[in-house]
Copies of this chain bind each other. A is one copy, B any other.
Amino acid sequence: MVSRSLHEIFYAESVAVVGASANETKRGYRAVATLLRDRYEGKIYPVNPKLNSVLGIKCYHDILEIQDDIDIALITTPGESVADILEKCGKKNVKGAVIISGGFGELGTKGRQKEREIAAIAAEYNIRIIGPNTSGMISLYNRLNLAGIPDVPKGNIALLSQSGNVALHIITESGLRSEMGFSYYVGVGNEADIRFHEYLKYFEEDPHTKAIVMYVEGMRDGRSFLQQAYQTTRKKPIVLLKSGRSATGMRSAGSHTGSLAGISEVSRTAFRRAGIITIDNLDELYPVTETLASLPPLDKNRVAILADGGGHATVAADMLSDYGVDIPQLNEKTQQRLSEILPPNASLKNPVDVAGGTDENPSIFADCAKVILNDPSIDGLLIVGLFGGYSIRFADKLRFMEEDAAHQMGKLVKKIEKPIILQSLYTLKNTHALELLRYYGIPVYESLGIACKCVSSLSQYGRYLHHTQRRPVHFVLNWGQKSKSECIEIIKKARSEGRGALLETEAKQIIALHKAPVVEEKIATDAEQAVKLAKKIGGKVVLKIVSQDILHKSDAGGVKVNLETEDEVRAAFDKIISNVKEYKPEADIKGCLVSPMADKGVEIIIGTKIDDQFGPVIMVGLGGILVEVLKDVAFRVLPITRTSAKGMLSDIKSAPILDGVRGEPPVDKNAIVNLLLTVSEIIEAYPDIQEMDLNPVIARNDGLSIVDARIILKKEQIDE
């Protein structure tokens, strides 16, 4: 059975309001009232066993009493009642349900069980669910407002939010400050059925939607979301605020590579790579979306600033620079043309400061804009200062010239396909000139910070679209695809012995079987054997304890390095054994691993973990101290391609070290990239693996050495 399309829900022609109410503070009252107020053209069926009418409309005592077909049901009754109501909806062939009711997954384990129950009922009857625990849904082009929020402006932004108040915030802001409105609002709720990626897919193809804005607290299926976002962002911008950065924070972790970053770092990178514009400050969420929905993105990253005062120009230049936006000098010809328009003391290079040149005629702003945007080295324009308020600041008659300028700039943007964003001190006065700019799709902001953020978002999105052609979509995990039977045996053996982690030797064996370079090492069970193995290796050696009970070998005194003579090796062996026995008397000791000392090089650390939202992710960092003290690491969602492995290396701040600093030769980056790909392959091959940890790996000019390796298994065996 194919799931119903979301279209059937957004464009429902009849709605049952289950839990309709006559009490005006109740949700079930506001729902009916809002539908009437917004002049919904479909049929409305209030349902409440105790009422005969609501707001003058006949009220049914039971959903089954309704004779006509019902497309969707809005359910506002207490959580316990939802399962029964859904059953009835199923019998009535209802296509979708918007479940406001709470008391499900948000309450923990018990609630999750109830949620699975209602999801199962819905699946049985092919009812699509929005929610539960949602603040509602609005389909503006169907005048279908099931969120009880009045006066939602219609427009081209699709809004997905997991907080009703944040949705209210964004909708209110839109009404007060912009000409742009919404195509849909969905309170996504607990995602019992319809998940984020399905909404994305719908909006991607929807003709009313130009941009998507999202407030996310937690996703049920981050991986499918990424997969979909990769497609959607090629056509329409997605702007997203993910909250809960601080609460999740650093994870308390058993594995020291896994513990290096909270989920936020993983999501930030994953979202960025999928072309999503992420926002940290709620104040910027709507403006950035509005800008991306209204204006062409920047072709390149080169912006001009036009100001009627040095102060605003300088502050804007500082902020755009912070965002990495280029503010290049205007070319000679452009400067020449500007000099013909502006007074002699004007600054012509960029930022352009009109230096009083508009005081008596603000329409000169439009002349300057035309000259500047015709400069081929400029991709967009930020105008800052007093425009829109010249009639207030200087003389009333100036407003007609401002309005003329607004018309000219509006048409200029359409014609030349380069964006203009305007910051005005007089935004709150909303003069006609500012209204006109908005009419033409030029956003107007009071805040300089927000205006600059919007410019930077046009740049970020433009750059993404430039690069997107060569970027593959790669979030499908083909579990087990490249597995090897020897490796499966190793894992089975560990399981059968009740071990939750592989021995170092086993981990390295798996790596070797996947063709990454691992030095041959043997276990010595007594000191004399250690001496013999050391002699065979030649040069300096390292001894490391091998025991399933010792996870952190150094802490247990289980590692001795730099051993050269027979005596040193013998003494080290005995010392390790006695250290470990003291550290953990019950430890099952298999012996000591004898390995050659790795040559000097750059220390690398590679780790994987299972992220709550995205599943397996991989991390790489440089040098023990750089990782441990400075947390300088890069993440990717697995599996990775060669391109993303390379990208990881350049994401690290300390990356220049790999290219050789202070006369050191560059290390073999290709070998690191290959090792990252091997790790990716191993994780994909064995779903049993919870975490893998190569720490340290020594990278040199002529290759690399994996000095230590750890693999931790999932608590329960996976059959996939």
Contact = CB atoms under 8 A, between A and B. Distances in A.
Copies of this chain, count: 2
A69 interface: no
A35 B385 CA distance: 26
Contacts of A315: 166, 241, 243, 282
A280 to B, nearest CB: 7
A386 B394 CA distance: 37
A426 B175 CA distance: 12
Interface stretch (A123-131, A136-144, A189-197, A653-661): A653-661
Interface in A272-327: 280-284, 308-312, 314-315, 317-322, 327
Contact count band on A: 35 or more
Given A163-B311, A245-B321, A321-B246, A282 B448 contact: yes
A253 interface: no
Contacts of A647: none
A386 B312 CA distance: 32
Interface string A138-173: 000000000000000000000001111110110010
Interface in A688-710: none
A311 B165 contact: yes
Given A25-B359, A25-B394, A166-B312, A318 B246 contact: yes
Nearest to A655: B629
B169 A318 contact: no
A280 B318 contact: yes
B217 A283 contact: no
A176 interface: yes
A425 B169 contact: yes
A604 to B, nearest CB: 15
A19 to B, nearest CB: 16
A244 B319 CA distance: 10
Contacts of A322: 245-246, 280
Interface string A20-33: 00001100000000
Interface string A603-639: 0000000000000000000001100111010000000
Contacts of A625: 654, 657, 661-662
A136 to B, nearest CB: 14
Given A24-B395, A247-B317, A312-B165, A661 B629 contact: yes
15 contacts: A102-B345, A162-B311, A165-B308, A166-B312, A168-B425, A169-B425, A243-B314, A243-B315, A246-B318, A246-B322, A280-B318, A281-B448, A625-B662, A629-B653, A630-B653
* Closest CB pairs A-B (n = 9): A163-B311, A165-B309, A246-B321, A166-B311, A243-B314, A281-B449, A283-B447, A245-B318, A283-B449
